[in-house]
Amino acid sequence: MSFAQRAFGLPVIPPAPKVLPEMRILAFFTLASIFLMPWSGILAEQPGAKDAPELRPLWQQVGSLGPVPRYGHGMVYDAERERVLLFGGAYGFQRLRMDTWEWDGGVWHEAATTGPEARNRFAIAYDEGRGRTVLFGGSTGSGNGAQADTWEWDGVQWQEMEPVLAPDQRSGAAMAYDSKKGRVVLFGGSNHTGGLEDTWEWNGTSWVPVAIAGPPARTRHAMAWDSKRERLVLFGGLESPATRLHDTWEWDGLQWHEITVEGSRPAARHDHAMVWNSETERVMLFGGSGNSGRLADTWEWDGQTWVPLASGGMATRQDHAMAFDAKRGRAVVFGGGIVSFDVLGGGTHEWNGEAWERVTTSGPPARWGHNMVFNPVRNRSVLFGGTDESAINARLDDTWEWDGVRWQRFFSAPPPGRQAFAMAFDAEREHVVVHGGAGVTAGRLDDTWLRAGTTWTEAESEEAPSSRANHAMAYDAAREETVLFGGFAPVILGDTWTWDGSDWDEKQTGGGPSARYMHAVAYDAQRQRVVLFGGFENTWLGDTWEWDGTEWELVSTGGPPNRSWPAMTYDAGRGTVILFGGQAGASRLADTWEWDGTEWRQLAANGPPGRFAHAMTYDSTRGRVVLAAGQGDDPRLLADVWELHWVPYEIPPSARLAGDFNNDGCTNFHDFLFLLENWGVEIDGTPISFGDFLALLENWGSGC
18: pLDDT strictly greater than 60:
no
Least confident interval from 91-95, 114-118, 239-243: 91-95
What pLDDT, on the 0 to 100 scale, is given for residue 368? Answer: 93
Higher pLDDT, 515 or 699: 515
Taking phi over 0 as left and psi of -120 to 50 as alpha, with beta for the rest, 181 belongs to alpha
Calpha distance 131→402 (Å, rounded):
36
Nearest to 306 by CA among 372, 242, 358, 248: 248
Counting every residue written for the chain, the total comes to: 704
What pLDDT, on the 0 to 100 scale, is given for residue 408? Answer: 87
Cβ–Cβ < 8 Å for 615, 45: no
Amino acid at the residue 544: T
Which secondary-structure segment (H or E) carries 69? none
522: pLDDT strictly greater than 50:
yes
What pLDDT, on the 0 to 100 scale, is given for residue 667? Answer: 87
Count of other CB atoms within 10 angstroms of residue 221: 28
Cβ–Cβ < 8 Å for 568, 579: yes
What pLDDT, on the 0 to 100 scale, is given for residue 691? Answer: 85
Cβ–Cβ < 8 Å for 170, 191: yes
What pLDDT, on the 0 to 100 scale, is given for residue 36? Answer: 43
9: pLDDT strictly greater than 60:
no
The predicted model gives 287-294 an average pLDDT of 94
- Give Cβ neighbours of residue 5 (< 8 Å, ≥ 6 apart): 11, 12, 13
What pLDDT, on the 0 to 100 scale, is given for residue 292? Answer: 92
In which band, very low, low, confident or very high, does the pLDDT at 216 lie, cut at 50, 70 and 90?
very high
168: pLDDT strictly greater than 60:
yes
High-pLDDT (> 70) share of the chain, %: 88
- Give Cβ neighbours of residue 648 (< 8 Å, ≥ 6 apart): 54, 55, 56
Cα 36 to chain centroid distance, Å, stands at 41
664: pLDDT strictly greater than 80:
no
Helix axes 690-698, 21-44, angle to 10 degrees: 160
Cβ–Cβ < 8 Å for 105, 57: no
* Cα four-point dihedral sign 667, 672, 673, 678: positive
The predicted model gives 410-416 an average pLDDT of 87
704: pLDDT strictly greater than 90:
no
In which band, very low, low, confident or very high, does the pLDDT at 34 lie, cut at 50, 70 and 90?
very low
406: pLDDT strictly greater than 70:
yes
In which band, very low, low, confident or very high, does the pLDDT at 8 lie, cut at 50, 70 and 90?
very low
In which band, very low, low, confident or very high, does the pLDDT at 88 lie, cut at 50, 70 and 90?
very high
What pLDDT, on the 0 to 100 scale, is given for residue 548? Answer: 96
Cβ–Cβ < 8 Å for 609, 592: no
Least confident interval from 367-371, 400-404, 512-516, 680-684: 680-684
What pLDDT, on the 0 to 100 scale, is given for residue 2? Answer: 40
What pLDDT, on the 0 to 100 scale, is given for residue 339? Answer: 63
What pLDDT, on the 0 to 100 scale, is given for residue 635? Answer: 57
334: pLDDT strictly greater than 80:
yes
Amino acid at the residue 469: A
Amino acid at the residue 83: R
Count of other CB atoms within 10 angstroms of residue 261: 16
- Give Cβ neighbours of residue 62 (< 8 Å, ≥ 6 apart): 404, 641, 642, 643
Contacts 24+ apart (CB under 8 A), 598-603: 599/556, 599/558, 599/559, 600/544, 600/556, 600/558, 600/559, 600/560, 601/677, 602/560, 602/673, 603/57, 603/670, 603/673
High-pLDDT (> 90) share of the chain, %: 65
What pLDDT, on the 0 to 100 scale, is given for residue 634? Answer: 59
102 φ/ψ angles, rounded to the nearest 5 degrees? -130, 140
Calpha distance 59→337 (Å, rounded):
36
Which secondary-structure segment (H or E) carries 200? strand 199-202
What pLDDT, on the 0 to 100 scale, is given for residue 443? Answer: 84
pLDDT 10s digits, 601-629: 998 667 899 999 999 999 999 999 999 99
Cβ burial, residue 482 (10 Å; 0-12/13-18/19+): buried
- Give Cβ neighbours of residue 422 (< 8 Å, ≥ 6 apart): 371, 434, 435, 436, 437, 471, 472, 473, 484, 487
The predicted model gives 51-78 an average pLDDT of 82
What pLDDT, on the 0 to 100 scale, is given for residue 48? Answer: 39
351: pLDDT strictly greater than 90:
yes
40: pLDDT strictly greater than 50:
no
Cβ–Cβ < 8 Å for 364, 91: no
pLDDT 10s digits, 354-366: 999 888 656 787 8
In which band, very low, low, confident or very high, does the pLDDT at 552 lie, cut at 50, 70 and 90?
very high
**How does DSSP classify residue 349?**
E
What pLDDT, on the 0 to 100 scale, is given for residue 571? Answer: 97
100 φ/ψ angles, rounded to the nearest 5 degrees? -120, 130
Least confident interval from 91-95, 144-148, 567-571: 91-95
The predicted model gives 279-297 an average pLDDT of 95
The predicted model gives 500-508 an average pLDDT of 93
65: pLDDT strictly greater than 70:
no
Higher pLDDT, 483 or 646: 483
What pLDDT, on the 0 to 100 scale, is given for residue 137? Answer: 97
pLDDT 10s digits, 119-149: 999 999 999 999 999 999 999 986 568 999 9
Least confident interval from 51-65, 127-141, 477-491, 689-703: 51-65
15: pLDDT strictly greater than 70:
no
Alpha-carbon distance values, 518 to 7, 128, 205, 582, 618 (Å):
14, 50, 52, 9, 20
What pLDDT, on the 0 to 100 scale, is given for residue 345? Answer: 64
Calpha distance 188→144 (Å, rounded):
17
The predicted model gives 503-529 an average pLDDT of 94
Least confident interval from 191-195, 445-449, 457-461, 509-513: 509-513
Residue 7: helix, strand or coil by DSSP?
A: helix
Calpha distance 374→362 (Å, rounded):
20
In which band, very low, low, confident or very high, does the pLDDT at 10 lie, cut at 50, 70 and 90?
very low
Mean pLDDT for the chain? 87
What pLDDT, on the 0 to 100 scale, is given for residue 142? Answer: 62
Cα 596 to chain centroid distance, Å, stands at 31
Which secondary-structure segment (H or E) carries 439? none
The predicted model gives 239-263 an average pLDDT of 94
19: pLDDT strictly greater than 70:
no
Alpha-carbon distance values, 301 to 56, 265, 266, 280, 355 (Å):
56, 9, 10, 10, 17
33: pLDDT strictly greater than 50:
no
Calpha distance 559→578 (Å, rounded):
12
